[in-house]
């Protein structure tokens, strides 16, 4: 497979009479975008769109998802397959990417499991989305009493449609840069690069139900058995988030589109190892489901003759059991593993970091301690509902004080401890 990402770099947003891009400025017809979103009767009449730029004194809260605007300009399938387009396979051809731009969906959905994006100040240092030019969809339900699942689906679709619309309107613009990626099919991969270890990527997706869901080609991943996909399919939008979970380690759709694990493994493919394939698995809630999925995922890895595997988690607590089960089952099949997770080690960092462990899990990368406390100073403008800081995970009653200052754990900051490593945190050796 060969995929070309035709990148147009966006460094400024503006409202105007016609949606398009020129000289790095993405201009948006606000009425046309609102008309598109308001086609869904489940969304109320209070819908609005606003803009947030890096460095602005703006707080966005509560944040549900972040999506990179894309449109397919050549090749099979279309963006967000199974959601806003047909279910044809993606991962090949040419896709237009509005790099530096993002669609942010904000509104009260599950409330306690949404997040905060500060565009400036100390909070901006912890979220990667303080560096994107954000088109913020402020969403409210037509009926406050409607089913949360229906409202989440409406918000999810609004964000995906908006992202596709913005890129489609720029489809005739010339790319600033074209990034080309190639990845062989499994038959070819098995004979390539003799002498290099065969390595795979086990991609754990949040699928615990109760609005803790992720979608592959439009299918709720909790309904599948682990399956093999090309890393280029992931890069081309085959996976989207439907999650209403803790903001710090929620893998937004943007992160799936720009998965840094896949990007880095492709760079090292043919040099340090033979990157054979990506295996997608789920994180269900019953012990039987965990056993089934972990056994099936590691069986696939063994059938492909993998020597090693990178495993990434999404979420914490219950999913830690899936992570560790995947680890020790793979290791006992002779497959070396490296784990990527974050920690919930208490505000002092002294508590147990994960809910489960095993002796085989001796190669583990941390994305940070989500319980670390931070003080967020007031912003001049709030997009959304500032009072939600008192109820979101990582906050508490009294987190928000009258002058607009918010004290929360990193858990409340969108993407701060992403378990795909798409973060602004780093580490050094003492």
pLDDT at 99 exceeding the cut of 80: yes
Domain boundaries defined on the chain: 2-181+194-412
Share of the chain above pLDDT 70, in %: 99
Angle ∠(115,120,125) on CA atoms, nearest 5: 70
How far apart (Å, rounded) are the C-alpha atoms in residues 46 and 39?
13
358 noted as active-site residue: no
With cut-offs at 50, 70 and 90, classify the pLDDT of residue 276: very high
415: closest CA among 66, 60, 58? 66
- Judged by average pLDDT, the poorest of 14-28, 137-151, 281-295 is 137-151
The structure tokens 């269900």 sit at 284
Task: Report pLDDT for 420.
Answer: 95
68: closest CA among 30, 88, 96? 96
With cut-offs at 50, 70 and 90, classify the pLDDT of residue 334: very high
Task: Report pLDDT for 426.
Answer: 76
- Mean pLDDT score of the chain, rounded to an integer? 94
Q: Secondary structure of the chain: what % helix, strand, coil (to 5)?
A: 25, 35, 45
Q: What is the pLDDT of residues 288-297, one digit of tens each?
A: 999 999 999 9
How far apart (Å, rounded) are the C-alpha atoms in residues 57 and 212?
31
Residue from 169, 170, 244, 278 carrying the catalytic annotation: 244
Q: What is the pLDDT of residues 180-208, one digit of tens each?
A: 999 999 999 998 999 999 999 999 999 99
With cut-offs at 50, 70 and 90, classify the pLDDT of residue 26: very high
Task: Report pLDDT for 211.
Answer: 87
Task: Report pLDDT for 220.
Answer: 96
Segment holding 386, helix H or strand E = none
Give pTM, 2 decimals. Answer: 0.95
Checking phi first, is residue 117 left (phi over 0); if not, alpha (psi -120 to 50) or beta? beta
With cut-offs at 50, 70 and 90, classify the pLDDT of residue 41: confident
Question: Looking at residues 322-337, what average pLDDT do you find?
Answer: 97
């Amino acid at each position: 497979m060969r995929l070309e990402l035709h990148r147009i770099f966006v460094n400024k947003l503006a409202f105007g009479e016609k949606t398009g891009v020129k000289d790095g400025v993405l201009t948006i017809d606000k009425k046309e975008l609102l008309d598109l979103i308001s086609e869904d009767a489940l969304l109320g009449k209070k819908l609005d769109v606003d803009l947030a730029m890096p460095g602005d004194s703006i707080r966005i809260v509560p944040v549900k998802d972040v999506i990179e605007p894309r449109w397919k300009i050549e090749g099979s399938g279309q963006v967000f397959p199974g959601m806003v387009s047909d279910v044809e396979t993606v991962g090949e051809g040419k896709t237009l990417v509005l790099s530096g731009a993002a669609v942010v969906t904000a509104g009260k959905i599950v409330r306690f499991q949404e997040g905060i994006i500060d565009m400036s100040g100390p909070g901006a240092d912890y979220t990667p989305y303080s560096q994107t030019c954000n088109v913020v969809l402020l969403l409210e339900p037509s009926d406050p009493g409607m089913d949360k699942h229906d409202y989440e689906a409406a918000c999810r679709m609004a964000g995906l449609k908006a992202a596709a619309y913005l890129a489609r309107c720029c489809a005739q613009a010339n790319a600033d840069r074209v990034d080309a990626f190639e990845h062989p099919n499994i038959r070819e991969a098995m004979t390539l690069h003799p002498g290099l270890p065969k390595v795979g990527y086990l991609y754990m997706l949040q699928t615990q139900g109760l609005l803790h869901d992720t979608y592959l080609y439009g299918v709720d991943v909790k309904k599948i058995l682990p399956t093999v996909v090309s890393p280029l399919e992931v890069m081309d939008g085959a996976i989207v988030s439907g999650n209403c979970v803790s903001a710090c380690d929620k893998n937004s759709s943007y992160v799936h589109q720009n998965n840094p694990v896949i990007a880095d493994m492709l760079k090292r493919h043919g040099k340090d190892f033979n990157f054979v394939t990506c295996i997608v698995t789920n994180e269900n809630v019953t012990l039987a489901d965990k056993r089934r999925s972990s056994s099936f995922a590691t069986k696939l890895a063994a059938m492909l003759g993998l020597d090693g595997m990178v495993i990434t988690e999404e979420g914490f607590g219950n999913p830690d059991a899936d992570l560790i089960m995947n680890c020790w089952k793979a290791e006992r099949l002779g497959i070396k593993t490296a784990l990527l997770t974050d920690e919930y080690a208490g505000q002092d960092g002294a508590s147990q970091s994960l809910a489960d462990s095993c002796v085989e899990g001796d190669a583990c990368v941390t994305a940070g301690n989500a319980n670390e406390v931070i003080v967020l100073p007031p912003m001049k403008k709030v997009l959304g509902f500032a009072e939600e800081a008192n109820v979101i995970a990582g906050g508490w009653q009294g987190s928000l004080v009258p002058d607009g200052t918010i004290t929360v754990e990193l858990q409340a900051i969108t993407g701060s401890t992403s378990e795909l490593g798409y973060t602004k945190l780093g580490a050094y050796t003492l």
